[in-house]
Amino acid sequence: MHKVVIIGGGFGGLEAAKALGKIPVEVTLLDRRNYFLFQPLLYQVATGGLSPADIAHPLRRVLRKYGNVKVYQDEVIEIEPAARIVRTRRGEYPWDTLIVAAGSTVSYYGNEMWRPFAPGLKGIEEALEIRNRVLRAFEEAEKERDPEARRAWLSFVIVGGGPTGVELAGTLGEIARDTLRGDFRNIRPEEARIFLLELAPRVLPSFPEDLSEAAELSLLRLGVRSLTGVRVTAVDSEGVEFERDGQRGRLSARTVIWAAGVQGHSLARLLHEKAGAELDRAGRVRVSPDCSLPTHPEIFVIGDMASYPDGKGGTLPALAPVAMQQGRYVARVIADRLAGRASPPFRYRDKGVLATIGRHHAVAQFGRTRFRGVLAWLLWLFVHLIYLIGFQNRILVLIQWAFHYFSYNRGARIITEQGCRPSG
């Protein structure tokens, strides 16, 4: 039987596996995690609103009903297009068709040394690391007697004003103003300073201009100061240095979060070396109109790893709907090829963009329609609950959101050790 190997169980890989589960092919899904992660809500794990398991779902559970799909928790270290083999830590997996859907990683634009001081929001481990740093900052401030040092603990910098940065900053604002109010004796959490730094002239640069303005206003109401046109030039344990209008500046802050950029997964470079794939500036693989490699039509690249023209001179954004549609599309292309049929090129059906800011504000764009305020926020809630996998997760998330809304509390406010070994 025709063998398909899928690398990555994110939005793209999982949709591909589900679609291929219905046609007579042998599917192997490889992921270094044992779960699918609903990344759009990861910032809520990072800010103590949800637990990791609320937004994660075991891959083999999702795929259990597809008898022709095998799932292995394994890490790919080599792709060999000539031999049609994927090599992992544990062994080899042969394929007739390969789907690479390994996603993206955080990019520090060549400044890897900033990583320890400014974690990015990529996986569960990083989300918990950010949660620990944010909560610990308030604990340290409560103990600190020197006003200057205390101020640094109560200062938070988020680098990057895209949807993730805006959602993180808004939630931090809420935490300081509402969630922690009354919990401390020596500090007033609502005096925390939260800065959102963005290189572009406005936050949410991919949204229409009026929605950016609405977002900045909502953030300000939560105590978040947006600084735009800001280029970060250094990050260390004490804060960030930046340039703005040719002037240099410095913000003292013990907590810095990186939400500024992503790049294609390092497997893209492997495809470049081994399969002659062409990469774009963000390290993503340029693909043919059917999402395959021009040099190797039996290899598909989808989702955040792929650079696909949007028809307006740019490329499709790194969004879940793009990856999901591409996943289903390549499954259809494989079925077409097996049946000897030609396939139409991939066409993205724009589902719009959404970002939420605090308790009941959000901005949304669907084609020419724009929403803001409570309506957009309800829409945001609805869309995220619908796309979350698993009835149990939906109920649990809904209940926790209801509790946050009415009590201003967040349940997952625990600092856990991320040490090397369990302590005694």
Q: How far is the CB of 185 from a copy of itself (least distance, A)?
A: 5
Q: Are strands 362-366 and 369-372 parallel, antiparallel or unpaired?
A: antiparallel
d(CA 178, CA 409): 8
**DSSP for 325-377?**
HHHHHHHHHHHHHHHT---PPP------EEEE-SSS-EEEEETTEEEETHHHH
Residue 135 tokens read as 């909560």
- Contact residues for 56 (Cβ-Cβ < 8 A; gap 6+): 35, 36, 37, 38, 124
Question: Quick one: 146 or 245, whose CB is closer to a copy of itself?
Answer: 146
Question: Quick one: 74 or 304, whose CB is closer to a copy of itself?
Answer: 74
Q: How far is the CB of 163 from a copy of itself (least distance, A)?
A: 21
Q: How far is the CB of 161 from a copy of itself (least distance, A)?
A: 22
- Report CA 342 to chain centroid distance, whole Å: 34
d(CA 243, CA 250): 9
Contacts with a copy of itself, residue ranges (CB under 8 A): 33-35, 48, 51-54, 56, 58, 60-61, 64, 67, 70, 72-74, 90-91, 105-106, 115-116, 119, 122-126, 128-129, 135-136, 139, 142-143, 182-186, 390, 392-393, 395-396, 399-400, 403, 407, 409, 411-424
Question: Quick one: 245 or 417, whose CB is closer to a copy of itself?
Answer: 417
Question: Quick one: 68 or 252, whose CB is closer to a copy of itself?
Answer: 68
Q: What is the C-alpha radius of gyration for the chain, rounded to an integer number of angstroms?
A: 22
Please tell me which residue in 126, 167, 174, 216 is annotated as part of the active site. Answer: 167
Q: How far is the CB of 109 from a copy of itself (least distance, A)?
A: 14
Question: Quick one: 199 or 415, whose CB is closer to a copy of itself?
Answer: 415
216 is known as an active-site residue:
no
Q: How far is the CB of 28 from a copy of itself (least distance, A)?
A: 10
Q: Please provide residue 91's backbone torsions phi and psi, each rounded to the nearest 5 degrees.
A: 175, -155
d(CA 165, CA 209): 17
C-beta atoms surrounding 81 within 10 Å: 19
Catalytic positions, please?
A: 167
